[in-house]
């Protein structure tokens, strides 16, 4: 692999890590479950990067669907929140809002 490819791969990894951290910070700061669309709107991204970041966070038990919301049309949509590992991360990084905020 040439140095250009290595730099590109490193930048992609850094972007995924940053996306994961933004998702955790958002969920830690709101202290309430959010719809996926709310997460995307708040963070300003709708990318493969966001999808990969969220899949990694789910696969590694940092976030989890914790409830279902029903809209007027009665379709159910998952509400996402921090799982235990995600709460621990948010506490350790100072991004967990006090309860009730």
- Burial class, 13, CB count within 10 angstroms (exposed 0-12 / middle 13-18 / buried 19+): exposed
Distance CA 101, CA 83 (A): 18
Q: Are 79 and 20 in contact (CB under 8 A)?
A: no
Residue 101 lies in a domain: no
Domain span at 76: 3-92
Q: What Cα–Cα distance (Å) separates residue 36 from each residue in 54, 95, 97?
A: 10, 19, 20
Residue 40 lies in a domain: yes
Residue 20 lies in a domain: yes
Residue 68 lies in a domain: yes
Task: Specify the higher pLDDT residue, 1 or 6.
Answer: 6
Residue 46 lies in a domain: yes
pLDDT at 48 over 80: no
Residue 61 sits in a domain of what CATH number?
1.10.10.10
- Taking CA 15 as the corner, what is the angle to CA 11 and CA 94, rounded to the nearest 5 degrees? 130
Residue 48 lies in a domain: yes
pLDDT at res. 66: 86
- Domain total in the chain: 1
pLDDT at 57 over 90: yes
Q: Are 11 and 73 in contact (CB under 8 A)?
A: no
pLDDT at res. 40: 85
Residue 98 lies in a domain: no
pLDDT at res. 91: 92
Residue 97 lies in a domain: no
pLDDT at res. 73: 60
């Amino acid at each position: 692999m040439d140095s250009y490819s290595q730099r590109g791969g490193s930048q992609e990894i850094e972007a995924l890590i940053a996306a994961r951290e933004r998702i955790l910070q958002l969920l830690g700061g709101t202290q309430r479950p959010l719809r996926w669309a709310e997460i995307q709107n708040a963070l300003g991204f709708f990318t493969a990067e966001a999808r990969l970041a969220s899949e990694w966070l789910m696969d590694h038990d940092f976030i989890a669907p914790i409830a279902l919301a029903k809209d007027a049309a009665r379709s159910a949509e998952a509400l996402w929140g921090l799982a235990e590992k995600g709460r621990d991360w948010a506490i350790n990084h100072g991004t967990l809002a006090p309860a009730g905020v």
